[in-house]
Amino acid sequence: MPSTTRERILDAALELIQQQGFGGTTVTDIEELAGLSPGSGSFYRHFRSKEQVFREVLERELARAREHRRDFERGPVADPQEALTRRLVQQLDYLTKVRPLMNLLAREHGRFPDLTRRIRSVLVDQGIAEEAEHLGRDLPGEPAHDDPHALLAVVVSALTGYELSRGFFGRPPADIAPDRFAAALAALVTGRPGRE
């Protein structure tokens, strides 16, 4: 674990921008949290500007998100409902890991439109939506929903809404734990209440 100054600056910038936003974070703040003398320009030996460090922070988080996405297990499908529950828990776990990215998006969408598009691409187009398509395939077609496309949107919305509520308010909706939430959602999708 070398933890170079450059990396400590990236860590500090990520932390502060999540808390205070880009406009509310000063280079002096970043220097202080990175262990440099606040107010000295030591920051500028590592990054050309405040905007550049923001862009590199974002690149790093996007790369991390892609890595986390590769970690998904593809276990054997025994009981479809249990397999679905496990998969949904994985999705929630993934969303928790990319929370920094969601926080950056929530704060700075609009200021950097190109980056918003890239986050959306990783988080939705390639990410959640694509994986949710797999959910559709894993389903053995039991209840035969009449609008599978809309069902997909419901599942994706439920997962992201759950995670965003945790991020913004500090606690999940109705204080339901992730595995319990996933089980309820899986029961809903498979059409089986769980107890029969």
Q: Enumerate binding residues for a second copy (CB under 8 A).
A: 18-25, 105-111, 116, 120, 124, 129, 143-147, 149-154, 156-162, 164-165, 168-169, 172-174, 176, 180-181, 183-185, 187-189, 191, 193-195
Q: Return the one option of a second copy, DNA, none that residue 89 interacts with (CB less than 5 to 8 A, by type).
A: none
* Four-residue CA torsion sign, 41, 47, 49, 55: negative
Q: Which is nearer to a second copy, 75 or 130 (CB)?
A: 130
Q: Which residue in the set 7, 11, 15, 28 belongs to the binding site for DNA (CB under 7 A)?
A: 28
Q: How far is Cα 94 from Cα 70, in angstroms, rounded to an integer? A: 10
**How many CA atoms lie less than 13 Å away from 52 in the CB half-sphere?**
8
Q: In this chain, which stretch among 22-30, 71-79, 110-118, 168-176 interacts with DNA, using CB under 7 A?
A: 22-30
Which one of 37-45, 109-117, 136-144, 151-159 is the stretch in contact with DNA (CB under 7 A)? 37-45
CB of 56 to DNA, least distance (A): 13
Is 183 an interacting residue with respect to DNA (CB under 7 A)? no
Whole-angstrom distance, CA of residue 66 vs CA of residue 52: 21
Rule CB under 7 A: is residue 27 a binding residue for DNA?
yes
From the list 100, 90, 106, the residue with the least C-alpha distance to 181 is 90
CA 143, CA 159: separation in Å to the nearest integer?
Answer: 21
How far lies 168's CA from each of 11, 19, 34, 158, 171, in Å?
21, 11, 26, 15, 8
Binding-site ranges for DNA (CB under 7 A): 5, 25-28, 31, 36-37, 39-42, 44-46, 48-51
